[in-house]
Amino acid sequence: MTPGVEHVAGSPAPRSADVAKLAGVSRKTVSRVLNNEPYVSDEARERVLAATEELGYRLNHAARALASGRTRSIGVVALGTAGYGTASLLMGIEQAVRNAGYALRVINTPDGAPKSIAGAVESLLEQGVDGLVVSEPIVEGDVALRIDVPVLFLGAPPAFTATRTLTVGVGAHPLARAATEHLLDLGHTTVHHLAGPRHWYATKDRIEGWRAALTERGAYEPPLLNGDWSAASGYAAGRALAADRSVTAVFAAGDEMAIGLIHALREAGRRVPDDISVVGFDGNPVFAYVSPPLTTVRQPFDAAAEEGIRLLVHAIEEPDTALPPASDPPVELVVRGSTAPPPPPPSGLARPAAT
Amino acid sequence: MTPGVEHVAGSPAPRSADVAKLAGVSRKTVSRVLNNEPYVSDEARERVLAATEELGYRLNHAARALASGRTRSIGVVALGTAGYGTASLLMGIEQAVRNAGYALRVINTPDGAPKSIAGAVESLLEQGVDGLVVSEPIVEGDVALRIDVPVLFLGAPPAFTATRTLTVGVGAHPLARAATEHLLDLGHTTVHHLAGPRHWYATKDRIEGWRAALTERGAYEPPLLNGDWSAASGYAAGRALAADRSVTAVFAAGDEMAIGLIHALREAGRRVPDDISVVGFDGNPVFAYVSPPLTTVRQPFDAAAEEGIRLLVHAIEEPDTALPPASDPPVELVVRGSTAPPPPPPSGLARPAAT
DNA sequence: ATGAAAGCGCTAACAT
DNA sequence: ATGTTAGCGCTTTCAT
């Protein structure tokens, strides 16, 4: 039994004036209480809260937004896949936004093309948001819009201009580098890279991390392979790669592509990790339970989302203060069973092949 | 080069009065054009549209909502996992909502507990929504709230009362049944079931479909196993199951649990599908690329979301009309490599074990 | 087919 | 510490 008044269906929703009357104060005092403003006596506050409860009063956000010019909403432009990475990032953003006391408006751009992003931003702005999050946009083309709220670019550099832009990386560069170095440390001469679709910033970032590791070690940089994040595209790349006997290590830009890749390799008679090592990217825990368990690098989605939203909220609420510095998320390499030292050189002069 | 006026930062955003003045009409006419109302001459409409464009005018949703009492937003209470199923359903909802011309507000309830759901609903109502979607809520406990907008329960029966409630199943029952029947058809005497967490409606639904298939064929109903949707929980269940030599077929309520299960089975020396067949649930395409490729049943997330939103929008816009009937989504069994006929009876009288 | 006036429920600025 | 007044930018009457 919850105490409280049963409301007849159809009775109009109570307004702040009703609360004020019941509490015996003015509407402004009600407003003060509801917004945690100072200069309200404890007694008045008590009475207002009690009246609010008794009437089942719910503040009207539209009216508040209209009067105050602030919506207490943050809009996010998300990329339209149901993949582990995208979904994890979105959940992280949702939680961070809610914890900061803001509401969330979401628009998905199925393709992530500049035009779709522009449309999404425009629509979010019209709906009314105090800030915008643009998650991992594509890098081609331009977006020309009048944007007068701060914009957070998550995992990518600013893709367009706004009053105030912020950027928080998801640390893909060092992660890609760590993945590549892991393979190099194992003794592989070089590491091939199965990248994501061109035009994605996430793709570019990982390529650069991979390249940096190779360059630093003076390793040969093999030609790039491109997939579309899907396991099917990884499988296709794997078929092509299996024919090349010189390949002993591959770093895939996504776990799912890595899974497809491994499948193709094994179908072609190449053993993983005995003949070829594969590292994924993202850290989806389910791939600890496939054969071989996938070595991967964990993306700090929650940390990136939290950090980003913290900055965005700061930019919204204290536009003139300097931003607190961004902290770099830790690199987390998850070594499982899909990586091993390279196989001994094929037959030949050195010594007879061991078992 | 996009044509249009460059706006000086800081100049106030244009209002409908500005558009009206530029177009030489009244504010009401502007409003009519923007809302596609009748009784506007083509000429006036043209002029208004041109002025809108020229000023870079954006309608203020908060003001509209306040004046009209309608927000053109739909709120969704989602369950907080980044799993393939949940994420797919959310994307489907987002797209359907957007196509219907509504904006989306999302709140995630990490645990899905009744209290969290109540909090989420309350918050969404306060933010202002014309309708609510509650996705696969947990079945325990009560939620007592005054809700005066239509509510769509997706994949579960109504969990609380509102002005108007709608329900759209995701068709889990027939899907679970099809999965079980597939195994029975293969010749298995019975089928074990690795269910999801208790209290989830999705769990209950699948159990019932499984049980119905078993009962209809007169098959013995083995005791239930429970997981938490994760691969790790599937792995734990698999370890327990591997000891029981009588088990030849398992239907797991989620793909990830199936993957964990298979992993444990194989570690224990049981071959899949030769010794034990496993069917998953959801249809995540990546599991076509593991060994063995996972036989599963595809959930029609997009269809369910679309159907549900269609109904919800109907309830919002024409509260008095009867609802168009819901169409049942098709059952899609995806047979891959994790299922096969049961192994021949162990040693004994029949005939010597082959190979 | 178009316009003028009123008001949605709240907060801002300025009282007191 | 509290109240009063005047809008926020739109849509709704109801005129014309």
- For residue range B189-248, what is the model confidence (pLDDT) as tens digits? 999 999 999 988 889 999 999 999 999 999 999 999 999 999 999 999 999 999 999 999
CA distance A282 to A299: 5
Is B327's pLDDT higher than 90?
A: no
From residue B18, give the alpha-carbon distance in Å to each of A148, B53, B55, B67: 19, 12, 8, 19
Closest-CA distance of chain A to residue B220, Å = 30
Check B286 against A106: CB less than 8 A apart: no
State the pLDDT at residue A176: 97
Measured between beta carbons, the chain A residues lying within 8 angstroms of B146 are 7, 56
Of the candidates A9, A86, A163, which has its C-beta nearest B9's C-beta? A163
Contact B234 A91 (CB under 8 A): no
Cβ contact B10 with chain D strand, < 7 A: no
Bases of chain C within 7 A of a CB of the protein:
1-5, 7-13
Greatest mean pLDDT among A193-207, B108-122, B310-324: A193-207
Q: Give the pLDDT confidence score for residue B144 in this predicted structure.
A: 74
pLDDT for position A60: 94
Strand D: which residues 9-48 of A lie within 7 A (CB)? 24-29, 32, 38-41, 43-44
Burial category of A113 from C-beta neighbours within 10 Å (exposed 0-12, middle 13-18, buried 19 and up)? middle
Residue B35 pLDDT more than 80?
A: yes
Q: What percent of chain B has pLDDT over 90?
A: 63
| Contact between the CB of A110 and strand D at under 7 Å | no
Rounded-to-integer distance, Cα A194 and Cα B210, Å: 41
Residues 70-89 of B, Cβ under 7 A from nucleic strand D: 70
pLDDT at B6 over 60: no
Q: Name the residue type at position B2.
A: T
Q: How far is the CA of A312 from the C1' of D9 (A)?
A: 27
**Is residue B113 over pLDDT 90?**
no
Which residues does chain B have within 8 Å of residue A81's beta carbon, measured at their own beta carbons? 91
* Element housing A104 (H / E): strand A103-109
Q: Tokens at residue B16, please?
A: 């409908």
What is A2-39 written as a DSSP string? --SPPPPTTSPPP-HHHHHHHHTS-HHHHHHHHTT-S-
The angle at the Cα of B121, spanning B115 to B126, to the nearest 5 degrees, equals: 130
The answer to whether B56 CB sits below 7 Å from nucleic acid chain D is no
Element spanning B106, H or E: strand B103-109
A9 closest CB neighbour out of B163, B259, B288: B163
Task: Tell me how long chain A is.
Answer: 355
Q: Bridge partners of A241?
A: none
For residues B321-346, average pLDDT: 86
**Which residues touch A270 (CB under 8 Å, ≥6 apart)?**
A242, A276
The 10 Å Cβ neighbour count of residue B88 is 23
**Average pLDDT in chain B:** 89
Choice among A222-226, A349-353, B150-154, B340-344 with the minimum mean pLDDT:
A349-353
Say how far B159 CA is from D12 C1', in Å. Answer: 36
Integer Cα distance of B56 and B254 in angstroms: 49
Measured between alpha carbons, how far is B294 from B69 in angstroms, rounded to an integer?
Answer: 50
Tell if B16 CB is < 7 Å from nucleic strand D.
Answer: yes
Q: What integer pLDDT is reported at residue B158 of this predicted model?
A: 82
pLDDT at A228: 94
* Domains of chain A, earliest start first: 16-59 (1.10.260.40), 71-168+302-329 (3.40.50.2300), 172-294 (3.40.50.2300)
Q: Which bases of chain D are under 7 A from a protein CB atom?
A: 1-5, 7-13
Mean pLDDT score of chain A: 89
Rounded to whole angstroms, the Cα distance separating B106 from B43 reads 40
Is A56 close to B146, i.e. CB distance below 8 A? yes
**What is the rounded distance in angstroms from the CA atom of residue A127 to the CA atom of residue A129?**
7
Residues forming a β-bridge with A332: A298
Would the CA dihedral through A266, A272, A275, A281 be positive or negative? positive
Identify the pLDDT of residue B7.
Answer: 47
pLDDT attached to residue B252: 98
Kindly report the nearest CA distance between residue A218 and chain B, in angstroms: 34
**Chain B residues touching residue A285 (CB < 8 angstroms):** 230-232
Is residue B275 very low, low, confident or very high in pLDDT (cuts 50, 70, 90)?
very high
For position A115, what pLDDT does the model report? 83
CA of B71 to C1' of C8 (A): 13
What Å value separates CA A49 and C1' C7? 27
Q: What is the pLDDT of residue A347?
A: 56
The pLDDT value recorded for residue B217 is 97
CA–CA distance, A285 with B233 (Å, rounded to integer)? 12
**Which residue's CA shows the smallest distance to C1' of C1?**
B39
Residue of B200, B199, B182 lying closest to B191 (CA atoms): B182
B61 CB-to-strand D distance under 7 Å: no
Which pLDDT does position B139 carry in this prediction?
66
Instruction: Flag if A106 and B110 touch (Cβ within 8 Å).
Output: no
Predicted local distance difference test score (pLDDT) of residue B292: 97
- Choose among A156, A144, A170, A154: nearest CA to A75: A154
Of B294, B271, B272, nearest to B281 (Cα)?
A: B294
Say which of B66, B103, B231 has its CB closest to residue A66: B66
Alpha-carbon distance values, A21 to A8, A12, A29, A52, A73 (Å): 20, 16, 11, 11, 30
Query: Residue B55: closest CA among chain A residues belongs to which residue?
Result: A146
Minimum distance, in Å, between the CA of residue B355 and any CA atom of chain A = 23
> What tokens does B31 get?
């409003």
Q: How far is the CA of B239 from the C1' of D14 (A)?
A: 76
Q: Residue B347: which pLDDT band, with cuts at 50, 70 and 90?
A: low
Q: What is the nearest CA distance from B349 to chain A, expressed in angstroms? A: 36
Q: In this predicted model, what pLDDT tens digit does every residue of B63-86 receive, in sequence order?
A: 999 999 999 999 999 987 778 988
**d(CA A49, C1' C16) / Å:** 25
Residue length of chain B: 355
Angle at A325 between CA A323 and CA A327, to 5 degrees: 145
Q: Which residues of chain A have pLDDT under 50?
A: 1-8, 348-355
- pLDDT band at residue B297, thresholds of 50, 70 and 90? very high
What does the pLDDT read at residue B351?
A: 46
